[in-house]
Chains A and B, each alone.
Chain A
């Protein structure tokens, strides 16, 4: 931005926003999923899901946050299925779950205690584990202090019972490479 050209107010704002956006998506463009493949909320079992989902993409269209996308890539097993890549956009667990509402094959079904995965810290990447004071995952966890909390050693810890795998912590993690990922969980019937 050191050019001699005049920059108007609106241009300045839009350039600033673009700068932030581009830097943001620049790191998120990597489509290859870090960690396990995570499916939209409402999956009752992996085999059941894979056999019932007809890849109609309706959940993709229904998601108001553009969190659900179609997996194209190396994971041939799941290719074409709807997934959530938390680094691009995590799941915000809408109260009414429009993704489930539009699913008419029964691949996604409303349950009590929705859970799509569980967060796991990669200690060698985590900034807090390398002596920095970083609490981005803790501060941004929507289940304040319950799913991710600061342990007595000053480093983030995860309550695997409570964590629903939404992935907001993955998206906000300032470490590079990312210091936290979402794993499929044993409690999740899809394993």
Chain B
């Protein structure tokens, strides 16, 4: 990162440029612009919040962040930002920023020096490793950490300490999407990009409140529809949301019962002649749950069980609406599906993902402009840092797997560690990891840039392990619910105080410059991990990481020849452009709009005989013969169905003005004013039968406990469903959520829990 050089030099250049030139002079091409009139320097960067990846211009004046505005040249947001990003300077300069390390002494967190804190962590970790083995240690990271930070953590834990207990919060949000892409298309991450939004005729938004969770994507959808009234939008969600303002058709399934709806849509699509026979013949396999191959005819037979009437019985969505949705999907020349947690955070999250992909595969609505099954990511670097960077227990950086010997050897060589250091078996996934922490199997954990004490499902259950074991938390903000359990808290640099890369939903990697000095004694997470490595005795292994660019280049090298090739995305280039969409194999390659088809460098390089009679070749690591897979996934309900005892389905979600556990958005009074406290949405019909009126205090109870909320009686959730936004630390609804998880993706089912509600 070399902060001194960058900053000092920058200021020098600024001064020189200011005297020499007029307003709006460009200092570094594409990167920094000085506005002489106001004395503000504008730096090109990326928004800190969601996975949309909006480009921002950060205004810095006298070493302080004063303003954030949209980057008009960024193709994603074209200068637009949501209200959260507008108030980002409040988070940078918040009073809740942590400025020095803290160590728990006699039960209290007290100020400590970096030296003391690092020595303590290294000694503790080394003791645990010596006495209980590497697997008694664990790392829990974040989809908000930079790729370089996750890369350092991976090397320290998987390569040096020798444990694959490396996880991150993307397990809680994107794991099912990863599973869906790998099993259906053979490779993780979407085939298309945001560019498809302006080219499509139909949007199918399933389990996504796009208007609040991905505001700028929604704005693009809205603008596209306003300019093209023939564009249709179908929404599938048990709750009316602000996204409904653009809906042409809304399907309301009971929470957790939508699999039958997707199958019934496929049933109608084929029955009414919307299937693309040529695409099916040359591009697809059909498989059942046991991975046995089937013919298209057998798939049709499987779908016989999913008539719209049967699907209505299962899901509660009227048959005529399912037929209507299928016809809209079939008739549209192009269709784009988008989904988020409504499908991912489910006991059958992977299946739900597969069934959406099926709709696109059987109709050939993929691989052409305007058609894609496009998963929206929740965090700014879940794709870049964790899915691509290998921040999960079974992965290594650059789409490599711990189970493959060749992959272990390749990565170990780059890391300069013996290949035997990397264990051949995947480590513990998030829920298993925190369960092991409870059980005392894991005795030390390093938590970076995330707040699991609040964000884990059935959170209270896991407080035990956090309390009993040795916990290190590296955080920019203090206090959080997790620092309450920390033995050591390390102050981490925040957003504008460090350099690095974020990779967003559409495979785009974007560079963020360091603009200001870290506040107080805060340090960059990657350097903290590097120094911890050195302190633990891996001096040689971590000696070379002087700058962020060295880390990025090493990581970039590992992606060479992979489906996510980033060789053309050097820092030099990323500093000038508004991100690059991989595969981008060389410095002069422009990036790839559509994967698996013409224009994709990997597809283009395939021998002609492979491409014969095809327009797509699914070359991903999990695909065979270049074919995608249509999965025959049967209906399955939620892990915790409603009952006479717990008659309501509790579902949770985001709101526009707050983000995750509010460590950042909570610093802005303006955002807090918008929605000052947690509430529960309840349908007026349910409210009447329960004698609840608007703004009454009510108690929500699940098998895991109860909590009091203010009732918001509103025609948003369907009868039988209640909704609570999850952000507030004083009402951590996740304590009530179920921690049943998808057996494939290991992603917990936050979206459905059986609950009851009563007036206080």
Contact = CB atoms under 8 A, between A and B. Distances in A.
B676 to A, nearest CB: 5
B670 A65 contact: no
B110 A6 contact: yes
B82 A134 contact: yes
A178 to B, nearest CB: 10
A26 B212 CA distance: 26
B102 to A, nearest CB: 7
Contact of A23 (B80, B219, B672, B730): B672
Nearest to A11: B479
A26 B672 CA distance: 11
Contact of B673 (A17, A134, A174): A174
Interface in A1-50: 1-2, 4-7, 9, 12-13, 15-17, 19-21, 23-24, 26-28
Contacts of B670: 27, 174-176
A44 B656 CA distance: 38
A135 B219 CA distance: 11
Nearest to A16: B729
A106 interface: no
Contacts of A131: 70, 79-81
Contact of B83 (A5, A27, A127, A152): A127
A184 interface: no
Contact of A6 (B108, B216, B695): B108
B83 A12 contact: no
B695 A154 contact: no
Most buried by A among B244, B520, B657: B657
A19 B663 CA distance: 12
Interface string B76-101: 00011111011100000001111110
Nearest to A2: B99
Contacts of A92: 694-695
Contacts, number: 140
Given A2-B100, A7-B479, A131-B79, A138 B242 contact: yes
Interface of A: 1-2, 4-7, 9, 12-13, 15-17, 19-21, 23-24, 26-28, 64-65, 92, 94-95, 127, 131-136, 138-140, 142, 144-145, 149-150, 152-154, 171-176
A140 B716 contact: no
A136 B656 contact: yes
Contact of A154 (B219, B478, B674): B219
A100 B109 CA distance: 54
A151 B209 CA distance: 19
A155 B674 CA distance: 17
Interface in B202-240: 211-212, 215-216, 218-219, 222-223, 226, 240
Contacts of A20: 666, 672, 676-677
A172 B671 CA distance: 8
29 contacts: A1-B478, A2-B96, A2-B97, A2-B100, A4-B100, A5-B110, A6-B109, A7-B484, A13-B729, A17-B730, A23-B672, A23-B673, A65-B695, A92-B695, A132-B80, A133-B83, A133-B216, A133-B219, A136-B656, A138-B245, A144-B240, A144-B716, A145-B244, A150-B245, A154-B223, A154-B226, A171-B673, A174-B673, A176-B670
A20 B242 CA distance: 25
Given A127-B86, A131-B79, A144-B716, A139 B656 contact: yes
Nearest to A20: B672
A74 B715 CA distance: 41
Contacts of B97: 2
Contacts of A4: 100, 102, 109-111
A94 to B, nearest CB: 8
Contacts of B574: none
Interface string B51-87: 0000000000000000000100000000111110111
A142 B714 contact: yes
A20 to B, nearest CB: 5
Would you list the 5 A-B pairs with minimal beta carbon distance, nearest first?
A6-B108, A23-B669, A4-B111, A134-B83, A174-B670
Nearest to A139: B242
Contacts of B83: 127, 132-134, 136, 174
B439 interface: no
A44 B102 CA distance: 62
A12 B484 contact: yes
Contacts of A150: 222, 245
Nearest to A174: B670
A5 B478 CA distance: 12
Nearest to B713: A142
A1 B109 contact: no
Contact of B107 (A6, A132, A154, A173): A6
B480 to A, nearest CB: 9
